[in-house]
């Protein structure tokens, strides 16, 4: 279905975005009066917009001068966007290489609020494919990508819960995460859907901080044990190491 650009625009949202852009471009932190004139808003509308954005941490108000500036949450969102863009740009060539080598779908995944987000994909040429997961989110403890990412953090899973549901068995999960951390790879069957196998390995930056995970998704019937151990896992680990090096990560010899 086609539609004209702007046909379903919400004016309040447009004005909120205009306001954020004005704050980002403004040299000096403006007062509400300056904002009203710049955006052609009534005092009441400007006040409500600023109050809403302030509640969300996107705008901050100086209580002494009464001026406004971008809030910490706005900068945090910008950092996430830049990080994701950089990650996808650097990861895509390696994802393509792995997808051609293994002939399975390769994703880049990140952790966001105890959920795994599937950011980007290079698909296989196989006739039978796993379902496209780009843009999908899953609780970290349900799948290989989430578990491999969580395995290298110091968060105590027994005191945490996913947005979608409670962790069913925290103690068993802690043992599983410890094993995944030692191996450097997580494998699951059915974590993101019936009949789907996932293999995930972490990507690190120059400081050793985890920035995401390379994740393979394939129909379970193609992921027999010998292939996993001899072909898939070694290739995924090699790809993760190559990508980590692009982020400046240097593995310290033991």
- Beta bridge partners of residue 216, listed in sequence order: 106, 199
- Beta bridge partners of residue 111, listed in sequence order: 116
Helices then strands, each counted (H, E), the chain: 8, 8
Which pLDDT belongs to residue 147? 94
The topology under which CATH files domain 76-246 is: Beta-Lactamase (3.30.450)
User: Using an 8 Å Cβ cutoff, are 218 and 104 in contact?
Assistant: yes
Task: Enter the pTM of the model.
Answer: 0.64
Assign 5 a pLDDT band (cuts: 50, 70, 90): very low
Provide the token pair at 236.
Answer: 């995924």
Interval 96-119: pLDDT, tens: 999 999 999 999 998 877 888 888
Assign 2 a pLDDT band (cuts: 50, 70, 90): very low
Q: Where are the domains of the chain?
A: 11-70, 76-246
User: Using an 8 Å Cβ cutoff, are 41 and 51 in contact?
Assistant: no
Q: What is the CATH number of domain 11-70?
A: 1.10.10.10
pLDDT at residue 237 greater than cutoff 90 = yes
Interval 44-88: pLDDT, tens: 999 999 999 998 888 989 888 889 988 877 766 665 665 566 778
Which pLDDT belongs to residue 90? 85
Q: Interior CA angle at 22 toward 17 and 23, to 5°?
A: 100
105-112 sheet: strands from edge to edge = 137-139, 115-122, 105-112, 210-219, 196-204, 186-189
């Amino acid at each position: 279905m086609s539609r004209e650009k702007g046909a379903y625009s919400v004016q309040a949202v447009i004005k909120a975005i205009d306001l954020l852009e004005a704050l980002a471009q403004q040299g000096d932190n403006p007062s509400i009066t300056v904002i009203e004139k710049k955006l052609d808003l009534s005092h009441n509308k400007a006040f409500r917009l600023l109050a809403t954005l302030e509640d969300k941490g996107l705008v901050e108000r100086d209580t002494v001068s009464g001026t406004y500036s971008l809030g910490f949450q706005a900068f945090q969102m910008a950092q996430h966007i830049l990080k994701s863009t950089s990650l996808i740009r650097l990861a895509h060539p390696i994802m393509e290489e792995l997808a051609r080598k293994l002939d399975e779908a390769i994703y880049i995944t990140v952790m966001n609020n105890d959920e795994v987000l599937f950011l980007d994909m290079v698909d296989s040429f196989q006739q039978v494919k796993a379902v496209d997961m780009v843009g999908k989110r899953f609780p970290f403890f349900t799948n290989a990508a989430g578990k491999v990412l969580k395995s290298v953090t110091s968060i105590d899973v027994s005191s945490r819960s996913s947005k979608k549901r409670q962790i069913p068995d925290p103690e068993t999960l802690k043992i599983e995460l410890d094993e995944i951390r030692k191996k450097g790879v997580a494998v699951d069957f059915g974590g993101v859907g019936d009949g789907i196998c996932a293999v995930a390995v972490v990507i690190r930056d120059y400081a050793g901080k985890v920035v995401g995970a390379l994740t393979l998704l394939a129909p379970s019937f193609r992921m027999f044990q010998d292939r996993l151990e001899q072909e898939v896992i070694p290739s995924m680990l090699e790809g993760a190491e190559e990508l980590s090096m692009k982020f400046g990560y240097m593995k310290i010899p033991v």
